[in-house]
Amino acid sequence: MQKLFFITKRCDGCQACEVACLEKHSQSQSIFMTKMEQPSPQPRIKVKKSGSHYWATVCQHCTDSMCVRACMTGAMQYSLTGEVSHNTNKCVGCWMCIMVCPLGAITTLNEAKKASKCDLCKDEMTPPCAASCSRQALFYGTPEEYEMKVAGD
């Protein structure tokens, strides 16, 4: 299973990933129009300064996932390939997933009464957040690829 890995030491906090995510998850697919949209789209990756470094909070698609266990509607489920997929049609906004996600990677869409998290943009070759990261602080691939290509540097 491919997912997003964040490499702290490469990140300079430019937040291009947030912008790319926001655009991708907007109805208009245009960053200039997102402010006008109702309900307003939210980025599913958030970059924050933490001490002397930056940290990007994004769903890690855990294999023994707390949110899948806590979800009382069956909206959070594993896909056949192992990602944690969130079916927003089933979501009722009970925030049980937010109650248990130890990374804080799930946010609220209050207007829509739905939870929101990274869906890995499965219709793209590479998720726009990773593609937009000029410093390659976001790596999209399998854990094995991550180990081989990134962990050693």
Partner 1 sequence: MRVIDMHYLIIGNSAAGVFAAETIRGLDPDGQITMISNEDCLPYSRCLTSYYLGNEISEEMMYIRDKAFYTETGIDFQVGYVERVDPDSKSVLLESGEKVIYDKLLIATGSSPFNPPLEGSDIGGIFELRTLGDAKAVAEFAPKAKNAVVMGAGLVGLKGAHGLHELGINVTIVGSAPQVLRHSIDIESAEILTRLLEEDGYRVHINTRVTKVLGEEDADGRMSVSGVLLNTGEKIPCQMIIRAVGVRPNVKLVRDSGVAVNYGIIVDEEMQTSVKDIYAAGDVAEAFDLLTGEKGVNAIWPSATEQGIIAGCNMAGVKRNYQGSLALNSAVICGVGIISAGLVNLPSGEGSVLRASEPDKNFYRKFVIKDGCLVGMIMVGDIEGAGILSGLIRKKAKVDVKYLQHMLVNPIEYPGYLPVERGGQ
What is the contact surface with partner 1 in residues (CB under 8 A)?
8, 46, 48, 50-51, 53, 55, 57, 64, 66, 68-70, 72-74, 89-90, 92-108
Q: Between 12 and 124, whose beta carbon lies closer to partner 1?
A: 12
Judged on CB neighbours under 10 Å (0-12, 13-18, 19+), 104 is: exposed
Q: Between 51 and 125, whose beta carbon lies closer to partner 1?
A: 51
Residue type at 75 in one-letter notation: A
> Minimum distance between the CB of residue 52 and partner 1, rounded to whole angstroms?
11
> Minimum distance between the CB of residue 97 and partner 1, rounded to whole angstroms?
8
CA distance linking residue 44 with residue 13, whole number of Å? 16
CA distance linking residue 100 with residue 19, whole number of Å? 27
> Minimum distance between the CB of residue 42 and partner 1, rounded to whole angstroms?
11
Q: Between 55 and 126, whose beta carbon lies closer to partner 1?
A: 55
Residue indicated by tokens 């207007």: 111
Q: Between 68 and 129, whose beta carbon lies closer to partner 1?
A: 68
In angstroms, how far is CA 77 from the centroid of its own chain?
16
